[in-house]
């Protein structure tokens, strides 16, 4: 049997899609501000704890 395609890694997820990554670029800041303006509950991905 081959492995499934989604092998979750919390650190990688945060480094690619996290808040600090978004705020590090001008386009990322635009994304955050757009989500704030829309009234999003979650601005970026959240990594839950077990």
pLDDT at 4 (0 to 100): 95
- Average pLDDT for 43-50: 80
Give the model confidence (pLDDT) of 3-45 as tens digits. Answer: 999 999 999 999 999 999 999 999 999 999 999 999 999 999 9
Predicted confidence band of residue 50 (pLDDT cuts 50, 70, 90): low
pLDDT at 49 (0 to 100): 66
**CB contact set of 4 (below 8 Å; sequence gap of 6+):** none
Higher model confidence: residue 5 or residue 46?
Answer: 5
- Cα–chain-centroid distance for residue 22? 8
pTM value is 0.78
């Amino acid at each position: 049997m081959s492995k499934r395609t989604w092998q979750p890694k919390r650190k990688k997820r945060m480094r690619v899609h996290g808040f600090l990554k978004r705020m590090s670029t001008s386009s990322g800041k635009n994304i955050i501000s757009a989500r704030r303006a829309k009234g999003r509950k979650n601005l970026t991905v959240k990594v839950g704890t077990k």
